[in-house]
Amino acid sequence: MNKAILLSSIAATICFSGCTQRVLDFTIVSTKNVDISKMADLKRGTGRVKGEDMRHIIMFIPAGQPSAKTAMDKAIESVPGAVALTDGVVTSNFWWIPYIYGQTRFEVEGTPLIDPNIEKTYKK
């Protein structure tokens, strides 16, 4: 009886588990057009921002593929005037309950670099 409970517990743990993988650590990254000659004018944001792109898995069929670029765009666009992220990380994770439902996603987190000229247009 105890072996059956143990095997059932192990099987449930394996079936209901997810996986998170650190894909990339970066010093500076952007999906926007950044004028490199004006890098000295950029200011660093005060806090960290996060963006994610997620897709559903219905039964065993994925409803699309998440995109790291979309997650990065969402993180950058969450701060007015931001053009890039510094000191960040890209992670990929998923979880799935077999033949029922699951999710797969990319998450991007970093400190925004803000272009003061663009930021001024948002404050008007």
Residue 32 lies in a domain: yes
Residue 11 lies in a domain: no
Q: What is the CATH number of the domain that holds 64?
A: 3.30.110
Query: Biggest alpha carbon distance in the chain?
Result: 71
Query: Which of the four pLDDT bands, split at 50, 70 and 90, describes residue 14?
Result: low
Task: Judge whether 9 lies within some domain.
Answer: no
For residues 111 and 88, is the Cβ–Cβ distance under 8 A? yes
Rounded to a whole number of angstroms, the CA Rg of the chain reads: 20
Which residue is it, tokens 């925004």?
A: 112
Q: Is 17 helix (H, G, I), strand (E, B) or coil?
A: coil
Question: Which run of H or E residues covers position 72?
Answer: helix 68-77
pLDDT at site 124: 52
Mean pLDDT over each residue of the chain, to the nearest integer: 87
Cβ within 8 Å of residue 3, ≥6 positions away: none
Instruction: Find how far residue 101's CA is from the centre of its chain.
Output: 20
**Residue 2 maps to a domain:** no
Q: Is the pTM of this model over 0.85?
A: no
Q: Which residue range is the domain that position 32 belongs to?
A: 19-123
Q: Answer yes or no: is 3 within a domain.
A: no
Confidence band of 54 (pLDDT split at 50, 70, 90):
very high
Confidence of residue 20 (pLDDT cuts 50, 70, 90): confident
